[in-house]
Structure 1
Amino acid sequence: MLCMLGVMAAELGYAAPPANNRSSQPNILFVYLDDFGWRDCGFMGTDFYETPALDSLAAAGIVFTDAYAGAANCAPSRACLLSGQYSPRHEIYNVGTQLRGNPKHSRLKHVAGTDTLRPEIVTWAKRIQAAGYRTGTIGKWHLSDDPRPYGFDFNFAGTHSGSPPKGYFPPHPNAPGLKNAPKDEYLTDRLSQEAVAFIERNRDQPWLLYLTHFAVHTPLQAPKNLVAKYKNKPPGQLHSHAVMAAMIERVDRGIGRILAKLKELDLDQNTVIIFSSDNGGYGPATSMAPLKGYKGTYYEGGIRVPLMIHWPGRIAGGKCAVPVANVDLYPTLCELAGIDLASISDGPARDGLSLLPLLGLG
């Protein structure tokens, strides 16, 4: 049984909301983690890392067990996500220059590429912004110096940098909004706090929030008291890295705070939540078993990622083993926002296919 979601949705009476009213424009929260492996959350099998907030969403949402990143490391995968195109179209093939590393170790001729998403590429954020949404990005961007020209009204901390240059504790001299961060503030906590504030500010209009944590990218850092908790915890079957576990718990706590705010503002039933990662996990600190490989490799462990979509009352829960890719989220996000892509001819071609039929909404 590959995917019974459409049948389940029909039986339970779930359906797409009617067009041309407020309910046809649900709020969209897209939580995107960095270097978070396929098995790194409870609903994907870890028995060491603790992710109760994510697990609660997954229990009532759809989990795609065979979801793939567009590439095995950060920038090209994120370019695939934002553009809905694979690398030969958007031309971001690597993090930074194509000439990284020792040329004698390269068995293939380098192709010309770029480290910046071309301005003429129309991202899903730009389309959703044009559809009347208030759009924001909080956290890692990595595709240009400033994400705002790509469809975001609000940017917090997003630059061309692929990791927090000074780590997860201040100072953060070049990150928008973080120049005067309190001395002991943990970056993951601050990004979650800013997400809550964004939702509060925009509660009376449809909004899209792309919450893209730097976690769990290196440097591996977390509050000492939380690291101590995991050092004293017996190792799991797959995982045992105390700092990684603490970083993941802090992300999950922040998601819990966001869920509480959505409920407080009575927005939880009209908010679609998508959770995923940009590529496979960081090999020295986590495990993708039984998959081979890790971040930076094109074995399954380097490109298989968690993907979960949650929308109460609209999407029936379950698991889907149909192979999907992050480029598929471009048409999915646009259609969730009520955008008819078939009627739009501007911009380059897209490679993704909408997931709405697999969600029981197509």
Structure 2
Amino acid sequence: MKYVDEFREPEKAEALRRQIAKLSQQLEKPIKIMEVCGGHTHSIFKYGIEEILPETIELIHGPGCPVCVMPKGRLDDAIAISQNHNVILATFGDTMRVPGSKTSLLQAKAQGADIRMVYSPLDSLQIAKDNPDKEIVFFALGFETTAPSTAFTILQAAAEKIHNFSMFCNHVLVIPALQALLNNPDLQLDGFVGPGHVSMVIGTDPYEFIAQQYHKPIVISGFEPLDILQSIWMLLQQLIENRCEVENQYNRLVEKAGNPVALNAMNHVFIVRENFDWRGLGDIPYSGLKIHPDYAQFDAELKFTIPNRKVADHKACQCGEILKGVLKPWQCKVFGTACTPETPIGTCMVSSEGACAAYYKYGRFSHLANKKIAEQEMIILTP
């Protein structure tokens, strides 16, 4: 395949749908599959994939949205850094409206903090060059997908001896998060659609523990409709054949050993934290990255005093349960009412990869229609 349209051909999608329906009939129980990546969640809703699957196959939305898993305390820390005299805080657009305990970065900017949206950490390095009399801090976050760009930016800053630049590092690792989910007795999963972008960096080898220790199949998937449908088909094949393997559907971009250049840069610049607090998942050991002591001059946590407090989520928000796959977005009490993309209470409604945002944008009306039909049927059936 050469063009995007080839990954969206209706005839091929229909053929895969029929094959999935046929395979599902051979299974003895309903199947729960978690798509780990928020990008997959949005594709599933955008292209209506969930609606064409058999009722016996349920897709569970996982914690693969990097903005969504960011706890309020770390957002408060970023806001506190931005309020230092002479600081310019640079960050990705997704983080601007994420609510902290009292305010958001966007509100802090409106109140006078110099907070700027960038598309790359290198953009923040350029801001440092253009403003030598200011301290520039990049709010770095994301899974292994974005960690290499942060690492390369720090290496570039070191090479150019840019001293007014630092990073507030909040990068997290996908493997410890998956292990935490697998250890959760309340969440019974039959398989995983593995994250494509993360796997471009780390490869497929790190997922072997899922098959070997937990006896669950996983298929690394691309993000187009045919990618996801084929990955589900591959998972069902494994389940029917009683296999538990790591398979790579996204082999046009993902290699077994990952990207050695990116991994080498990460290993130079970062070390693993002993623990990191995840929204909804709590403290997960060895699940976050911090800047290596060799590059301490670029570590904002050492340059600035930060509150470093744990902050509980809003009582009405159920982002934690959604991130763990325990609840669907529409099951949250405030979904679509008090919590919308314009007035978000939780992170899952803010990020472009958040499950609530995806469901609100693509799936809420179909669910409401199905709910209305069900209620009408109940009225008819009730004597």
Using structure 2 for the length normalisation, give the TM-score.
Answer: 0.25
Higher helix share: 2
The structure showing larger relative contact order (alpha-carbon pairs under 8 Å, at least 6 residues apart) is 1
Using structure 1 for the length normalisation, give the TM-score.
Answer: 0.26
- Structure number with greater Rg is 2
